């Protein structure tokens, strides 16, 4: 049960990472190509908020709660599942902490700049 919960947390973490990375790329491309969905206010608010939280965690030296929960569950059961090992390889890299902080803060700033360059639009009724 704990291994399945750890796998689920890892899948959510991976989905969040994909949302952040691809979301940023899509916002810039969509802004340039005038894709309406990339200017959706709620999408943009969720994206900017998530990136700012990740950057703040990195600047403050706080470990992501998803990582802590997954690690605690994995320690309780031992070895991760096959799928979890592959998802971890996609999500985690062996780099110094400052490199991640630099990437997270840079992406958060790029997200906020995109808010200014390609402002979101509120849905109209």
pLDDT of residue 54: 94
Write out the two tokens for 39: 């200017």
Average pLDDT over residues 62-79: 86
Question: Domain count of the chain?
Answer: 1
Mean pLDDT, all residues of the chain: 88
Average pLDDT over residues 43-56: 96
* C-beta atoms surrounding 38 within 10 Å: 21
pLDDT of residue 47: 97
* C-beta atoms surrounding 40 within 10 Å: 17
3-class SS of residue 122: coil
Range of 108's domain? Answer: 2-117
Nearest by Cα to 30 from 40, 20, 21: 40
Q: Would residue 122 count as lying in a domain? A: no
Q: Would residue 124 count as lying in a domain? A: no
The predicted model scores a pTM of 0.82
CA angle 27, 30, 32 (to 5 degrees): 110
Q: Would residue 123 count as lying in a domain? A: no
pLDDT at 87 over 80: no
């Amino acid at each position: 049960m704990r291994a399945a919960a750890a796998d689920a947390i890892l899948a959510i973490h991976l989905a969040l990472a994909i949302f952040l990375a691809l979301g940023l790329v899509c916002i810039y491309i969509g802004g340039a190509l005038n894709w309406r969905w990339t200017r959706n206010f709620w999408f943009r608010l969720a994206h900017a908020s998530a990136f700012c939280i990740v950057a703040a965690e990195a600047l403050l030296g706080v470990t992501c709660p998803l990582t802590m929960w997954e690690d605690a569950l994995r320690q309780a059961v031992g070895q991760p599942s096959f799928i979890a090992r592959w998802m971890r390889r996609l999500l985690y890299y062996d780099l110094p902490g400052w490199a991640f902080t630099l990437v997270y803060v840079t992406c958060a700033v790029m997200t906020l700049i995109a808010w200014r360059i390609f402002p979101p639009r509120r849905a109209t009724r």
